[in-house]
Each structure stands twice: as C-alpha cells, then as structure tokens.
Amino acid sequence: RDIIRRVGEPRLTELPDRYNAAETFIDSHRGVRESSIAIRCQGKSVTYGEMASNVDRCGNALRELGIGLEQRVVILCLDSPAFVYAFFGAIKIGAVPVPTNTLLTPRDLAYVLNDSRAVAIVVSAPLLPKVLEIRVDTPRLKHVIVAGGEEAPGVLSLETVLAAADDELDPADTTPDDACFWLYSSGTTGFPKGAVHLQHDMVYCTDTYGALVLRTTETDRHFTVSPLFHAYGLGNGVFFPFAVGASSVYKPERATPELVYSLITQEKPTILFTAPTFYAALLAYPEQDFKYDLSSLRMCVSAGEALPKTL
C-alpha cells in the first residue's frame, strides 16, 4: 500500500475475451507512428512500421513451417531486432516463444529444448555451433533458423524466410489467459524450470510498473544492459517501450563500461537499466579517462540483486 500511495492506483487495461499480446505491442502502432524509431542497434534504426512488417513476416514464415498454437519456439538470439521479430512473430500465430540464456552450455541448451518440447529454434549466427552440437540430442526439434547467417543443410536463414513471407498477418484467436511465452529459471536450486507467462501479463506489467514507476512516454529511449532473454531486460527493452511508442537501444556485444558509456553518448537514452554489479563497474571507471556525455539520462534503474548503500 505504501508503494500505491507514492505512485498511484494502477489502471489495468480491460482486455477483450479474444486477445493476442502482439495487438498491443506491435499492431497498435500501424497507421499511428510507423515512421517513428522503435529500435536502435549497431548504428541502424528500425521503425515501428518496419518492425510490424517483419514480425508479420516471421509469424507467416513460422506458420509455413507448420508451427501452430501453443508449440514452443526457442529464441537463442543476441540482443537485436531478430529477437523481437521471432518473439512477437511466434506470439502472433499463437505459438509460444521461449527466450533462452545465450550463455548456456550445449548440455543445458539441450535440456531447455527437450523440456520445452520446442519444435523450432531461432538462433544468432555466432551461437549456431552450440545448436548443431546437440542437434542429435533434441529429437523434437524440427527447424533451426539462423539470424545473420547463411543457409546450410538442416538450417534455414531468417533473412531468407522473412524476404519470402507475406508482411500481413492476423493475430491468432487467443485469449488473455492463454500462454504467451516461457522464461526458464536460472537453475541454481536444481534443473531450470519453465515459467509460463500469459497473454495479459506484459500489458499488466506495463500498466503498473511501466506506467506508474518508470512513467515511460513515447519520447523516452530505453537502454537495458541486462539481455533481452532475462525478464528484467525483456520488460525494459521490449514491452515497456513498445507499449507507448518509445524506442530501445540494443547491443549484441558483451557489455563493458566503455561500450555502455559510448552507447549512452551516441544513442542518448533517457533511462538506463542494469544490475548493481555493473553500476559498480561504471562508477569504477577512471575519472581521468572519462570523456562521455550522460546528460540524456533522466533515470537509472537497478534490479537483479540488492543495491548496496555505497552505490
């Protein structure tokens, strides 16, 4: 109640009986802000119109492969537009994306693929060898789709299938309480467990934390150091900004203080998201070498572990 007194009562969106999350985060921007920037990644922009078209292309491509309602699609992608296309493309056809830790060992990746009974995986090219290594150990996996890589025997190119697919797609006939995506736990107390998130969950998180705590508007630009496969990164880098037409900065590279400071200077995000450990690394950067502009930031958000008072 103390939190509610500070930020106000949440106004939860009333969702219809038939609802698909892609309607809120992708389709709602059609004809409204199609030329506005949704994603900045490695110096390139993706507009809301381009994002919507590629989500629809990805959904159609997955459907052409025979993937349907509630079938799982593992996403082993570095932070990039491809992650978004695969995530919402799967959701839009009623399939269930499973964003997965890109640092998993091949053995642990095989566990996730088998436990989720995934029929397809969308994987960034640098991570493809990990998938091929355990291909024989994942008998339910029918389709391997590589983002940013070439087609090979048993491997489809995401870019090729997107180019061949139609860019219009009606959302599947799902309900607010249907499964939307899975996220696996870290497995620190046993085997990782798949947590099922429902079609309404991203909307309600946005109605509460996104709207009342972050107060994100379409003029904001989010930059999450925590990766998109993590629940923290997924909210901050995908559904909080896309709910209101804001933009998001992605970095497929491993985070370092130099890289993050450089991206803040170049991309001018308004909200930075990371964990206390990385904030400590940022603050430890040698003052005599500091040449960066942080003036665009209006807020720095910490989560993932306790924030020490010293920070």
Integer CA distances (angstroms), 136 to 141, 154, 258, 281, 300, in order: 9, 12, 40, 41, 44
Average pLDDT for 10-20:
90
pLDDT exceeds cutoff 70 at 9 = no
Percent of the chain topping pLDDT 90 = 91
Q: Is the pLDDT of residue 7 over 70?
A: no
pLDDT digits (tens, 9 = 90+) for 133-168: 999 999 999 999 999 999 999 999 999 999 999 999
Own/partner pairs, 31-38, CB within 8 angstroms, 24+ separation: 32/245, 33/218, 33/245, 36/218, 36/245, 36/247, 37/247, 38/241, 38/242, 38/247, 38/248
Core vs surface per residue 185-222: b (16+ CB within 10 A) or e: eeeeeeebebeebbbbbbbbbbbbbbbbebebeeebbb
Give the separation between CA 217 and CA 247, rounded to whole angstroms. 10
Q: What is the mean pLDDT of residues 185-207?
A: 92
What three-state secondary structure class fits 96? Answer: strand
Contact between 274 and 224 (Cβ < 8 Å): yes
Per-residue pLDDT, 12: 82
Mean model confidence pLDDT for the chain: 95
C-alpha to C-alpha distance for 80 and 227, rounded to whole angstroms: 10
Domains of the chain: 21-198 (3.40.50.980), 205-302 (3.40.50.980)
Q: Under a CB-based contact definition with an 8 Å cutoff, are residues 75 and 302 in contact?
A: no
Cβ density class 157-171: b for 16+ within 10 Å, e for less: bbbebbeebeeebeb
Query: Once rounded to an integer, what is the mean pLDDT over residues 167-173?
Result: 98
What token pair was written down for 67?
A: 């993937």
- Mean pLDDT, residues 221-248: 98
pLDDT tens-digit readout, 84-101: 999 999 999 999 999 999
Q: Residue type for 295, please? A: S
Q: What is the pLDDT of residue 8?
A: 59
Model-wide pTM > 0.85 = yes
Strands 271-274 and 221-224: parallel
